[in-house]
Chain A
Amino acid sequence: MDWTETLANLIHRTTSDLPADVEAVLQTAIAAEPAQSQASVLLQALSANTVLARRQETPLCQDTGTLTFFWRVPRGADTHALEASAREAVALATQKGWLRRNTIETLSGRSVDTNVTDGSPVCHFEQEATEAVEVWLLQKGGGSENMSGQFSLPDAALGAGRDLDGVRKCILQVVWRAQGFGCAPGILGVCVGADRAEGFLTAKRQLLRPLADAAAEPALAELERRVLAEANSLGIGPMGMGGKTTLLGVKIAARPRLPASYFVTVAYMCWACRRRGVRVTDGHIEWLG
């Protein structure tokens, strides 16, 4: 099993081939905007870009994002070797022009031209009672990451208390603050509860959920629907230039918290929600997403 090659192919698919569910929601949004409107023209350009990137097998967006690999592996798997393959695959994909030279040494300001260094790419491993190795790649750009946010409830300025209505206000505040800066229409991953660090990780993981998915907990599923509708009534629109399409999806999860803490964490993803997976069972490769 050549993991480096498989992961390089995963990167190539993720960077150039927008998942079908995201593309379908874009089409629905185009139909909802008045023909010839600014919003419609912008959404149609996104759609045309999606088709072109897929055909050319080139990046959908020049910001090829933070590369986060979410792994589910059998007990006893050699995670060290898998991570080494991920690093090799990233270097290869960068050389091929599937990824931008997108990594900066923070203190020196130097570009890490391979995109591989301590802390890049990011790998999260979970061991499970499974025979297969499954890995999902999320490519999340910096413009959208800059718009993510975290609140500690109660929040007096927002009038947000420690309940789902308070959560709703936090999420809407993030959407308003983001305007078009994070490449609206966006997709939100939200975590209610947890500590600050786990909150962001859980929120980000929600971005792997299909857009048609609803939270298992009915109260959260209802909140997902409500926030989506309310955000789209704000009139921010594609790229913040006005319109009915401000969000394409909202995915919320809840985690336990300490009595003293009640965090609401929102991961803002741009419309180019690049997430793809692969499952390998006994050398057999199955593409996911």
Chain B
Amino acid sequence: MKQIRYPFSEETVRSLRAGEIVQVFGRVFTGRDRLHKYLAEGGECPVSLRDGALYHCGPVVVPDGDGWRVVAAGPTTSVREEPYMAEVIARHGVRVIIGKGGMGEATQEACKRHGCVYLQAVGGAAALLAQRIRRVEAVYFVEEFGATEALWQLDVESFEAVVGIDAHGRDLFGEVRGASAAALKELM
């Protein structure tokens, strides 16, 4: 199993192929609907996302001493960010997207062009994935967006995911969508 570590280099990202299972180590940022819209519309990001991983996730967090503890942290449906994702990749130099369900053509194209990959984490496996989070390093926008939509800066280890869209134009979700459309036609 390939291991990738923050900061993620373009070379590392381009070496990954669709279908490969990887383990992510180091810094990962969470972001979902509010953050993507904000960033794509030109909002300032308080922390650099360059060569970073953006995880489509709204975790369950509980206050813990001076900080926070993550109780559950599975992926949310990525395709909602499709209208914004390509812009966020281009503008902020994000190298790794983590989410579930796959994305659309604009993201696939942006992955190819800028050197970025989309990783599928296991949807609903929130307890399992929360175990891979070593600590919360920081949180931004918690007042503005609320705890669920905030940008959490996490430190992870051995965070497992499957390469769903690689930087060479291959999209496993698109392949399944196409094949299942043909199968559906037979049944209609």
Contacts and interface: CB of A to CB of B under 8 A. Distances in A.
Contacts of B52: none
Interface in A88-113: 96-97, 99-102, 104, 109-111, 113
- The interface centre, meaning the residue of A42, A63, A271 with most chain B CB atoms within 10 A of its CB, is A63
A182 B77 contact: yes
Interface stretch (B41-49, B107-115, B176-184): B176-184
A198 to B, nearest CB: 27
A48 interface: yes
B39 interface: no
Contact of B172 (A45, A181, A241): A241
Interface in A108-128: 109-111, 113
A139 B7 CA distance: 37
A111 B77 contact: no
Interface in B71-104: 71-74, 76-77, 79, 100-102
B188 A62 contact: no
A58 B188 contact: no
A42 B122 contact: yes
Given A49-B124, A146-B77, A62 B59 contact: yes
Contact of A62 (B58, B77, B175, B176): B58
B101 A180 contact: yes
B146 A104 contact: yes
B127 A234 contact: no
A169 B185 CA distance: 10
**Residues of B contacting A: mostly:** mixed
A109 B124 contact: no
B136 interface: no
Contact of A63 (B58, B101, B127, B181): B58
B101 A62 contact: no
A235 interface: yes
B127 A239 contact: no
A21 interface: no
A240 interface: yes
A58 B124 contact: no
Interface of A: 38, 41-42, 45-46, 48-49, 52-53, 56, 58-64, 96-97, 99-102, 104, 109-111, 113, 142-143, 146, 158-159, 169, 172-173, 176, 179-183, 230, 233-237, 239-242, 270-272
26 contacts: A45-B122, A48-B128, A49-B127, A59-B126, A61-B72, A61-B74, A61-B124, A62-B130, A96-B62, A97-B71, A99-B60, A100-B72, A111-B149, A113-B147, A142-B76, A158-B188, A169-B188, A176-B180, A179-B180, A180-B123, A180-B176, A234-B187, A235-B179, A240-B173, A241-B162, A270-B123
Which 9 residue pairs spanning A and B have beta carbons closest together? A111-B146, A97-B62, A49-B125, A53-B127, A183-B123, A62-B72, A181-B101, A49-B128, A59-B72
Interface of B: 19, 21, 34, 57-62, 71-74, 76-77, 79, 100-102, 120, 122-128, 130-131, 145-149, 160, 162, 164, 172-173, 175-177, 179-181, 183-184, 187-188
